[in-house]
Amino acid sequence: MSDALPDVPADSHALFTSVLERLVGRESLSAAQAEIAFGVIMDGAVSSERIAAFLMALRVRGETPDELLGAVTALRQRMNAVPDLPPDTVDVCGTGGDNYGTLNVSTAVAFVLAGAGVHVAKHGNRAVSSLSGASDVLGALGVPLLADTPALRRQMQAHRAIFLAAPNHHPAMRHAAQARKALGLPTLFNLVGPLVNPAGVRRQLVGVFSPSWLRPVVDVLSRLGSERVWAVCGLPSSGHGGIDEMTLAGPTQVEALEDGRVHSFAVEPEMAGLAYAPVSAIQGGNAQQNAQALYELLRGAHGAYRDTVLLNAACALHVAGRINLLHQGRLDPNALKNGVADVASTLDNGAALAVLEGLRAARPADQPER
């Protein structure tokens, strides 16, 4: 079979058939070829059944970094961007797909960071393969998910936090929604989500469901112009697979893009002065249950959920450039402990809760009280 795919023809069905034939033959796609294939999907020219076949063919053969880059490029070209936010804005977002069903960690981290004075553009979605995604829990908390760019800029100026719901900014993703829901499995789209932040952030803490994807995620973001990225995957001692956040249940593997170089290291909870806790200690539920837990966290509740958020938030504070945790590519445990204390004070002094209350008070007039 030829290495080249034809230019996009009028008959997109023929194009996609050629892509599927290539994948069935266990051949990989170049970044350019993947960009064309995902572009056809995003333009609504492919049935849900064929999209599902495409995603499963990629998964069975094993997705490649070039295919991830092509998918990200295609979606970025079609997104409703939110430009001109503060240049130091960060995102904290996970891929999902780890099947642990935990409480919403990165959403809580966003409130903590904003309370600490960091500009946060948190990208997220409703649950696809879990019970409660970021958009689900924010809806239960009464936080408006705005789509209007001027309103988002005003929200950022007032509260240092905005929440970018994927359907508002990636309408093209709707063409893949049915196939993803039917599969109920992590696919390449899980990896794409954190890499297509509509605000174009260049600093990110990205939770990844598999350690094998840490370096590819960092490499793709580096090729697309990111400045500082930590891709993290928790490795619980239970051995049931990776978790898409920094964990107290074992080591967290990190690939960190810093000043054009990538450093690899592991973070153990004791390095942050935090106690071990199994993943079951932060087991989540539906959106209402997770929202209640997040609200209690912001009001000062202690326990494994708080400590997990503190670990992730301290490392995100480094990604934001507010503290320095690395010395010659090695993690400084004392600096990490100090970072945990810094973000803990944001919870203890009510600053993180104030961000939530400010966002809820600023809801659109037609949104009901919760």
CATH number of residue 57's parent domain:
1.20.970.10
Name the pLDDT band for 363 (thresholds 50, 70, 90): low
47/41 Cα distance (integer angstroms): 8
Mean predicted confidence (pLDDT) in 156-171: 95
**Annotated binding-site residue? 97:** yes
Residue 299 corresponds to which tokens in the numbers above? Answer: 């009001």
Q: What would the mean pLDDT of 86-109 be, rounded to a whole number?
A: 92
Annotated ligand binding at 160? The verdict is no
Q: Are residues 202 and 262 in the same domain?
A: yes
Confidence of residue 369 (pLDDT cuts 50, 70, 90): very low
Q: Residue 338: how many CB atoms within 10 A of its CB?
A: 15
Give the pLDDT band (50/70/90) at residue 101.
confident
Q: For position 127, what pLDDT does the model report?
A: 60
Would the pLDDT of 50 be above 70? Answer: yes
Model pLDDT for residues 306-343, shown as the tens digit of each residue? 999 999 999 999 999 999 999 989 999 999 999 999 99
Residue 124 annotated as lining a ligand binding site:
yes
289 and 221 co-located in one domain = yes
Whether residue 170 sits in one domain with residue 70:
no
**Rounded-to-10 torsion of CA 190, 262, 242, 108:** -70
Tell whether 59 and 126 lie within a shared domain: no
Residue 126 annotated as part of some ligand binding site: yes
140 is an annotated ligand-binding site residue: no
CATH number for the domain spanning 204: value is: 3.40.1030.10
Domain range enclosing 240: 90-358
Q: How far is CA 316 from each of CA 71, 112, 120, 140, rounded to the nearest angstrom? A: 26, 10, 10, 25
DSSP structure class, residue 265: E
Higher local confidence (pLDDT), 188 or 6: 188
Mean pLDDT of 80-85: 96
Is 364 part of a structural domain of the chain? no
One domain, residues 107 and 26: no
Which pLDDT belongs to residue 13? Answer: 79
Is residue 191 within 8 A of residue 68, CB to CB? The reply is yes
Q: 247-270 as b/e, with b when 16 or more CB fall inside 10 Å? A: bbbbbbbbbbbbeeebbeeebebe
Beta carbons of 21 and 6 less than 8 angstroms apart:
no
Same domain, 246 and 321: yes
Q: Say if residue 182 is in the same domain as residue 240.
A: yes
Answer yes or no: is 47 a known binding residue. Answer: no
Q: Does 369 appear as a known binding residue?
A: no
Tokens at 32, concatenated? 């350019």
Element (H, E) at 331: strand 330-331
pLDDT at 125: 77
User: 363 in a domain, yes or no?
Assistant: no
Domain membership flag for residue 1 = no
Euclidean distance between CA atoms 249 and 251, whole angstroms = 7
Q: How far is CA 7 from the centre of its chain?
A: 32
Percent of the chain at pLDDT > 70 equals 94
Tell me whether residue 244 is annotated as binding.
yes
Within a domain: residue 161?
yes
Mean pLDDT across the stretch 65-72?
97
Q: Is 226 part of any known ligand binding site?
A: no
On whether both 61 and 155 belong to a single domain, the answer is no
Instruction: Report DSSP state, residue 243.
Output: B
Which tens digits make up the pLDDT trace of 265-294?
Answer: 999 999 999 999 999 999 999 999 999 999
Q: Is residue 275 part of a domain?
A: yes
Q: Which of 333, 276, 340, 352 is nearest to 314 (CA)?
A: 340
Q: Say whether 127 counts as a known binding-site residue.
A: yes
Q: Give the tokens for residue 365.
A: 């007039």
6 within some domain = no
Q: Which of 36, 55, 77 represents a domain boundary (last residue)?
A: 77
| 174 annotated as belonging to a binding site for a ligand | no
Same domain, yes or no: 73 and 156: no
Indicate the Cα dihedral angle 98, 140, 286, 234, nearest 10°: 20
For the chain, the residue count is 370
pTM of the model: 0.92
Whether residues 311 and 208 fall in one domain: yes
Residue 319 marked ligand-binding: no
- Quote the pLDDT of residue 10: 52
CB atoms within 10 A of CB 286: 13
Q: Binding site annotation covers 98? A: yes
Average pLDDT over the chain, rounded to an integer: 92
pLDDT of residue 26: 93
Instruction: Answer whether 337's CB lies under 8 Å from 272's CB.
Output: yes
Q: pLDDT at residue 365 above 60?
A: no
Q: Is 143 annotated as a binding residue?
A: no
pLDDT for 3: 47
> What is the predicted pLDDT for the residue at 126?
73
Q: Is 299 annotated as a binding residue?
A: no
- pLDDT tier at 238 (50, 70, 90 boundaries)? confident
Count of structural domains within the chain: 2
Determine whether the annotation assigns residue 94 to a binding site. Answer: yes
3-class secondary structure, 164: strand
Residues 23 and 110 in one domain: no
User: Can you read off the two tokens belonging to residue 363?
Assistant: 């809801």
Instruction: Let me know whether 24 and 113 are in one domain.
Output: no
Q: What is the pLDDT of residue 5?
A: 47
Q: Please state, in angstroms and rounded to a whole number, the distance separating the CA atoms of residues 128 and 151.
A: 27
Query: Edge-to-edge strand order for the sheet containing 252-258?
Result: 161-165, 120-124, 90-94, 203-207, 228-234, 252-258, 261-267
Per-residue pLDDT at 128? 52
128 within domain boundaries: yes
Kindly report, residue by residue over 124-160, the tens digit of the pLDDT: 877 654 567 788 899 999 999 999 999 999 999 999 9
pLDDT score of 366: 37
Do residues 156 and 113 touch, judged by C-beta distance below 8 A? no
- Residue from 65, 40, 3 nearest 223 by CA: 65
Residue in 327, 347, 274, 316 with CA at minimum distance from that of residue 112: 347
Residue 276 to residue 268: CA distance in whole angstroms: 9
Domain boundary (41, 56, 77) is at: 77
Q: What is the pLDDT of residue 130?
A: 53
Is 154 contained in some domain? yes
DSSP-derived letter for residue 93 is: E
